[in-house]
Structure formats: structure tokens, C-alpha cells
Structure 1
Amino acid sequence: MAILVLEASTSAAKAMVYEPQKGVVNMITRMYPESVSDGSTIEADGMMAMIFEIGNEAAAGYDIEVVALNCTWHSVLITDSSIRPKTRILTWAWRDASAIAMPIRANEELTRTLYYETGCMPHAIYPLYKLMLLQQQDMIKPDDKVLDQGSFLYHRLTGELRASTSLISGTALMNTHNLDWNQHTIEMAGISVNQLPELQRYSKENTYATLLPEAARLLGVKPGIPVGLPYPDGSMNQVGAGALKPGIMTLSVGTSGALRVTSDKPILPQSPGTWCYYAPDRYICGAATNGATNCVDWFKITFSPEMSYKEMDNMVLRADMSTPPTFLPFLYGERCPGWMDSRRGGFAGILAAHRLPELYTALLEGILFNLYQCYELLTTATDAPYEIRISGGINNSRIWSQMAADLWNQPLRIAKSSQASLLGGAAMGMAALGLINSPEDFEGDRGLPSEPNPENSELIRARYQQYLEFYQQGNC
């Protein structure tokens, strides 16, 4: 008995086979080619071809009993009435709607109204503002369907048009209090509920459909097995880390960064700044950043294309940070804490003596500094967590994860796997098979402790204050 977890992320297709008695028994990750993803948009049919391809490879030789689906938050896909794509999938990184969101965000009263209705700040990442722009461009017809990466994936596997409340909570189109479509923002988007997928809350009984014969053939598995509703990777990260329980915060440092805690009710501070989405069966309050390992990839391509990531890590050991440069990680704009779409990043305080080791160290620190800003904001709205669990690409670098422990100046739990979201998908599959009562019962990957170095903590916290000074000055 095995669970096949398929994940369509921003930059890659992933497949994991999970056996409840053994854990992860197979996993494949394949980056999208440039013809499929340009970093901010994804060609839908090309994405599906890769999902089927790696799913087939991963599942070969295993008795797959259920398929779980992961995707990303904040995407938009317009299709015709026959679910043929008319646009590319517009991901969270697509910023063309900035000019729509910024004047709305400048209106404090409207911003508060939208925030308290949806849990989402006015910002270009959210589908509401993408749809408003597409309406201006006359890209949406009355009989078109307004979907996303996950609901398109689900339709191709099952023939059904449904979406989880967890996925839709990151669109600014759902009311965060009653977990139903929010009529105010749907009207702002210029669409109707009939154009949207059916909204579905989590339960073990009704969040699964059966796998179509053609999809089963392409995956190389049995037709008719259950296929779970797609859940966003951020939500599944929380499940996979075993962090649906109160008092546990997750710190995810992947393509983008995020901190998340769960709650039984929406957490919406008087001064909007954090976001509030929904997990399988409870709320997630959090803060997210646009710049994380995508900044690392930018640095590698730009300054050290011949180096391996391990060699880049080793540069940190040679860095002279006595008079350090500062990196502002806003190459892709800003989400939390300032929500400034137009903010730009780069290096500040550079001296002639600075070389690649100093610049790369500053880059890794700057990514963490932005996340620590978010942590300070988040803990004004929620209680400080008793435990923080780290996942994502940062866990491939002991040096970088140690930096995080030093900055937070407390022990952090470093996940043994960098794929917490896929483990979350496995938990959803286990619930479908009746092996656990709910996703909250999944123990997850608590990880190993990383203790802070007191001397390094003092130094990196001093550099954080320098970062804040540059941040307050605005763009580089």
C-alpha cells in the first residue's frame, strides 16, 4: 500500500511515493524547462505533461492506493468553457497587477475592509488583482472559467472542477470568516461564482474524487483510486512539519520564504501586515517574503555560474564581515512586512574591499533579516511559539541554517527532509485511507535541534540593525 504525492510548484514538478510503514520510498524532482516556466508564469499543458511523466516514473513498481495533490497559493488560469487554457498560469511571482493593487492599498479604509474580509492585503500576488488587470485587458469572457494551478491539475486527473478552501483562502476571493466565496471581491474581479470551481471544505468523506482511466494510464497506476483535492504547498508544509498543533511555528525558506502558526480562529491585527489563510481544518496566520532561494539562484547565475552550491557555502567561511555589506532581498518586490510591490533590492554599503565571499554572506543574511522582520511583526499578533521548525532549501546548507539559529538566538528544529510539503500530502493520503483520523495526527518531521552560537548571535543581530537602517531608507 502506497501513496503517490504529486506537487506542481513554481519552478518544478515533484513526485513522492510514501508507504505508511516505511516512509518515503521514492522521490523525483524535475525543474520545468524554460518553455514551461519563465519564473513567473507556467504553461499549463507543459506542466501537466511533466507531472504525468515524473508521476509515472516514481510510481513504477508500487501499489498506489491514493493520489494526493499539492500546488502553489495565489495563481490564476483562465480557460474556456471546455477547460482549455487561454492564458498561462500566472503565479505569485507575476507582478503585472502592481499598478492595480497599489492605489487600493493607499486607501487605508478600503485596505482594512478587504483585509478583514479575506485575510489578504491588497497586493499584486493575489488573484483578485490579477483578475482586475485581465478584465481591463478584456481577457475574460462570460463563459470562461477562472481557475488556478491546483484546480486545473485536479480537473485533468478527475474531470471535476473543485477547489479546497485552503487553496482559495490565498486568492482574496474567499471570506475568511465563513469560508465561502466573498461577494464583494468577486464583484471587484468582475466575475461570477459560476465561473469558479466548487468550493470544498476538508472532510475525509467528500474531498476525494476518482482517478480517470486516461490519467491512470499516464501515471501507470490503477484507475478509480481516490484523488485528493489539491492543497497549497504552504498549507501542506505546516501539515508535513507536524505543526497544525498550537505553539509550533514553521519557517520555510524555499523559492520564497514564510513563517506560519495555526489558530482555531482568524488572526487579523488592527494594523494589517500579516496574512490569514486556511489549512485543512484550521487557520494559518503568517507572513511571507518574495526573496529567498530565488535570490541565491540569481547570485549563482550572475556571479558564480561555475561554482556548486557547496562551494558557494564555503565562501562564507572566508568572508570578512568586520565592515559588512548589506543585502536587501527585494529582487522580486516586497510582500511582508511593507507590501511594497515596487520596492527593489540589491547590495548596500559595498566597499572596494568586498569580494564574493562578503557579498554572498550578506545575501544569505539579508534573506533571513527580511524573515526576522516578519517574525517580529507576527509575534505582535500571536503568542511567541515554543518551537520553530525550519524546512525548505535552507536545510541543504548547514551554514545557512546555523545563521538562522544565531539570528533568532534560540534553538531551531532543522527538518531532516527539505520536502515538508510533500510529507503533508502524504498525511492527507493517510487520512483518506483511514490510517490517521485527521492531518493534525501526522507526527511530521520535527527535525534535529540547531543551537545558537552566543558570540555569533551578537554579531548577526548587530548586522540586522544595519539592515533595518537601509530598509527604512527604501530602495537600493
Structure 2
Amino acid sequence: MKILALDLGTSSVRGLVLDADARPLPGALARRRVVLTAQDDGTGTLDAGNYLACLTECLDELSQQGRLGGVELVAISAQWHSVLPLGPDEEPLGPVLTWLDTRPEPPATQAGPADPDAYHQRTGTWWHRCYWSARLPWLRAQIGSPPARFVGLVEYVLGRLLTDAPMSVSQASGTGLLNLRTLDWDAEACALADVRGTDLPELAPPGWYGRLGAESARRWPDLARARWAAPVGDGAASNVGSGCVDHTRVAVTVGTSSAVRLLQRMPAGAELPPLPQRLWRYRVDHDHVVTGAAYSSGGNLFAWADRTLRLPSGEALDAALAALPPHGGRPANVGFGGDRPPGRRRAGSGELRGLGFGTSAVEMLAGLMRGVCEQVVDDLAALESTVGQPVEVILGGGAMAASRWWRRTFATVLAPRTVCFGRYPEIGATGAALVACGRIADAAMMADIGRTDDQPSPTTA
């Protein structure tokens, strides 16, 4: 058996073909960059039609190369929190709001949850602009035509390819409208969002699998009989791909953004343990949850610095960073993209301080990169408080694979904890594949974990 793993991210769409053990097959990777519209007013949007085109181009490329033969299962890692209003004809009424968009705010005339702590414990979220409880009323006020319903980006693109595309409990938990214990839409959250059941996607039951529609099956005949597993939120998939699947290991992932997360087994219907006020909690599937914190700054901060500060590249940049003394960077506030929940800072809150005419671009970059490391510390301590012991930290994601200096800095900032490095960068895709195969428990054994100064494994490109 072969597995097709799709990673539907914020900055790119990727398709990888894996073997039955979720190991990547050499050369079986297709990737398309997507255009994210990000502005200082808080805009963070994607074009749904262009995004669907990127996905179909990846599938076309793999098909033309003969890579899809023998694929029996399709696994999907997809970004959390996105929302797209659809009209009666199922066409988008505007762009996709991504997690990066900080414009929505709860209506000033509306009261929030009756008991904010109970709401947080039930949904794992807050009444915050990142979640549909605040986003849907804001969207209604922005668009000219009343929406027929709302979907996430992954439900939109799969709805164009499959016979049906219900929302997985993992994706639903990222909306902030799901009761994490009962796995039904939360009545109070839906009231805040002013939605009824028909306004929201159908929820996928346990064991759901999708199939390609007739037109898609003609286009990709090798996938005509493949089962499509319910999508997994990208953060949850990354934890599994990093081998962080119990209370002893926490994943610190840096891709476009960054996050710190702990995965635990908590079946549907079971009473959930208390959730610290500063942390969120989402579903991985019907049997597992992931608890943690996320930040708007990560690899996107490096990308901004790279195009703005005229940095050296490749080995020259590595050498320049390595030559800096400890704490050699400039003080920085990394709120360029604003805060993820529960924070409230808007986009455009970033700062660099202590600059002089002798300050180098590399010193500014080092301050920004260290700032990304330091934002994790307090939330990591809050996660450790939930398990009553120190944890091992596994660094992962594309940005971690690209920078040995950044990995070493994380190890310094998070000391005295043991900090290791997941060398394979495609952790989201492989994690989604292991979830789809029901092999979450095997992930710790299968992860490629080494020292922070190790070179990453070669990519499948």
C-alpha cells in the first residue's frame, strides 16, 4: 500500500507519496507556493480558487510522474481556523480568512460568554477574533450578500474533489464552536456566532472516509478507489510527525508560524482535565487532544528579514550568526503579525530596539530569531504544570531544519530541559498519515530524532 499525504499550509500546498510505514518515497513530492495577502491593517487572506488550483497542479504533477499508482489512502494535514463564506451557488463570497487575519473583533454591543472559564474549558478556546464565534458576525457585516453557509478552506477544496466533504472533529475544534467532550457544536458558541446547524458544515463521524467524485476520478484514475481520511489540524499532525504523542514530550514547531504543543489520549465523552487559562486545546481525532499555544511569528519573520535587511545567504549567513557572542542580537518584539489567542495585539506590533549606525543586519535578525524562542518559555512551563514534571522538547518544522543556529538558540533558551531535533522536515504530512492509519502510538518510535546540531535528513524533493 502507498499513502498520498497532502499538507495544505498557509504558504504552500504539498503532496507526498509515502510507503505503508509513512516513510517518504524518494522524489515523490510536488509543491506549489500560495500567495498570502498580508497587510499591516491585519489582513491575512488567501484566494480559494487559486488555492484549489495549486492543489490540483500538485496532483497532476504526481499523476504525470506515475507516482499515484498503488495509492490506497489519502491523508491530509490542513491549517486550522480558516473560514470562507459561500453563497447559495456554493461559490465563495470573498477571500479565505486565515489564522493570520486580525481584523475581526466581537461586536461591541454583544456580551461574551456567560461564564468565560466554563466556555474555555468546554471549547478549549476564547471569545476571540481567531475563532468563528467572532469571525462569522464580522464577515456578515463585511460582505454584501448574505452567506448561505460557512466552511473552512479544506472543506471548500475537498468539496470540489470528493463526493462529500464533512468537517473533521479536528478541524471543527479549530473553529472554537465545538464542545471537545461531546463532539457536538457548542450551543453558546453558536449563539455568539449567530449560526444555526445549516450554517455550518456537517461533522464527520468516526471512521469516515471520502471518495473522489466522478470528474476527479477521471482526471486522477489512480486515486479513483483511494480512501480519503478526515483532515487533521496542522498543529496536531505536526506533533504526531515529531513523535510527541504522550505526556513526556512536547513539540516546538517552527514553520510559517510557531507553536508549543502536548498531545494526550482523551477519548470522546471522557471528562477532560482542567485547562490552564493561557493555553488552548483542540482535537486530533475522536480519541486524542492537543494542548498548547501558538504564535504568529516564526519562519515568516525570517522571510521578512531576508527580503528587507539584505542578509547574506547560505553558509555565509550561518557563519555570521555563529560569530555573534551570546545574546549578540538586538532586543525585539516579534509581534509583527499580532497575537494568536488569547493575546489581543493587532498586526503591526513588532519592534526592534537598541539600533545604532553600527548595528548589522545579522544582529537584527538574531534578535528576531531569539525573540521567537523566548515567547515559548512561559507557555511551556504551563504545559509542564498539567503533567507535573519536566518534559523533553522536540524541535521540528521547516524553519528548524533550515537553521542550526536557531536550533541551538532554542536549546539555550529552554535549558535545562533536554532539547532534541526532529530531522525530517515534512512532519505535518507524515503525522497526518500516521493518524489516518491509526498508528499514533507508533509515532515516537518512528520519528527521526537527533541532536540540535545534526544536519536534517535530505528532503524528498
Partner of 2:91, secondary structure, is coil
Give the aligned partner of residue 404 of structure 2: 398
Aligned-partner Cα distance in 1 for 2:149–2:342 = 33
Partner of 2:345, secondary structure, is coil
Among 70, 74, 78, the residue aligned to 2:81: 74
Residues 1:137 and 1:104: Cα distance change in structure 2 (over 3 Å): same
Matches within 5 A, 1:301-340: 301-304=307-310, 307-308=312-313, 310-320=315-325, 324-335=329-340, 338-340=343-345
Give the aligned partner of residue 474 of structure 1: none
Give the aligned partner of residue 155 of structure 2: 151
The Cα shift of 1:213 comes to 2.9
The answer to whether the aligner puts 1:44 opposite 2:48 as a matched pair is yes
Give the aligned partner of residue 237 of structure 2: 236
What's the CA shift string for 1:119-138, capped at 9, x where partnerless? 11232222221112012335
The Cα shift of 1:188 comes to 1.4
What is the RMSD of the two structures over their aligned residues, measured on CA atoms?
2.8
Partner of 2:225, secondary structure, is coil
What's the CA shift string for 1:83-124, capped at 9, x where partnerless? 222221110001111x3289989x796532431231112322
The answer to whether the aligner puts 1:186 opposite 2:190 as a matched pair is yes
Matches within 5 A, 1:240-319: 240-263=241-264, 264=266, 266-269=272-275, 272-280=277-285, 281-304=287-310, 307-308=312-313, 310-319=315-324
Aligned-partner Cα distance in 2 for 1:46–1:37 = 16
Among 118, 125, 130, the residue aligned to 1:125: 130
Aligned-partner Cα distance in 1 for 2:342–2:187 = 28
Structure 1: stretches of 5+ with no match in the other structure? 432-436, 453-476
* Larger helix percent: 1
Partner of 1:304, secondary structure, is coil
Give the aligned partner of residue 459 of structure 1: none
The Cα shift of 1:322 comes to 6.5
Aligned-partner Cα distance in 2 for 1:121–1:277 = 12
Partner of 1:120, secondary structure, is coil
| One-letter amino acid of the structure 2 residue matched with residue 406 of structure 1 | T
Aligned-partner Cα distance in 1 for 2:334–2:141 = 31
- What TM-score do the two structures reach when normalised by structure 2? 0.86
Indicate if the aligned counterparts of 2:171 and 2:233 stay in contact, CA closer than 8 A.
Answer: yes
Give the aligned partner of residue 217 of structure 2: 216
Give the aligned partner of residue 136 of structure 1: 141
State the aligned residue count. 437
Give the aligned partner of residue 177 of structure 1: 181
Partner of 2:210, secondary structure, is strand
Greater relative contact order, per chain length (Cα 8 Å cut-off, separation 6+): 2
Residues 1:108 and 1:321: Cα distance change in structure 2 (over 3 Å): farther
Matches within 5 A, 1:337-416: 338-341=343-346, 344-392=349-397, 393-409=399-415, 410-416=417-423
Partner of 1:273, secondary structure, is coil
- Structure 1 residues 59-68 or 2-11, which shifts more? 59-68
Aligned-partner Cα distance in 1 for 2:84–2:275 = 31
Indicate if the aligned counterparts of 1:56 and 1:220 stay in contact, CA closer than 8 A.
Answer: no
The answer to whether the aligner puts 1:20 opposite 2:30 as a matched pair is no
Partner of 2:260, secondary structure, is strand
Partner of 1:96, secondary structure, is coil
| One-letter amino acid of the structure 2 residue matched with residue 390 of structure 1 | L
Partner of 2:405, secondary structure, is helix
Aligned-partner Cα distance in 2 for 1:449–1:391 = 12
Indicate if the aligned counterparts of 2:120 and 2:126 stay in contact, CA closer than 8 A.
Answer: yes
| One-letter amino acid of the structure 2 residue matched with residue 255 of structure 1 | T
Indicate if the aligned counterparts of 1:102 and 1:123 stay in contact, CA closer than 8 A.
Answer: no
What's the CA shift string for 1:320-379, capped at 9, x where partnerless? 556752111100012267443468111123344321121111111011111223213333
Indicate if the aligned counterparts of 2:247 and 2:262 stay in contact, CA closer than 8 A.
Answer: yes
What's the CA shift string for 1:16-39, capped at 9, x where partnerless? 0001268201223221146x8888
| One-letter amino acid of the structure 2 residue matched with residue 258 of structure 1 | A
Partner of 2:259, secondary structure, is strand
What's the CA shift string for 1:419-444, capped at 9, x where partnerless? 11110122244x2xxxxx54333444
Indicate if the aligned counterparts of 1:119 and 1:268 stay in contact, CA closer than 8 A.
Answer: no
Matches within 5 A, 1:412-427: 412-427=419-434
Indicate if the aligned counterparts of 1:213 and 1:224 stay in contact, CA closer than 8 A.
Answer: no
Aligned-partner Cα distance in 1 for 2:230–2:412 = 39
- What TM-score do the two structures reach when normalised by structure 1? 0.84
Q: Give the % identical residues.
A: 23
Aligned-partner Cα distance in 1 for 2:304–2:350 = 12
What's the CA shift string for 1:432-464, capped at 9, x where partnerless? xxxxx5433344424103389xxxxxxxxxxxx
Aligned-partner Cα distance in 2 for 1:129–1:257 = 23
Give the aligned partner of residue 465 of structure 1: none
| One-letter amino acid of the structure 2 residue matched with residue 180 of structure 1 | D
Give the aligned partner of residue 95 of structure 1: 102
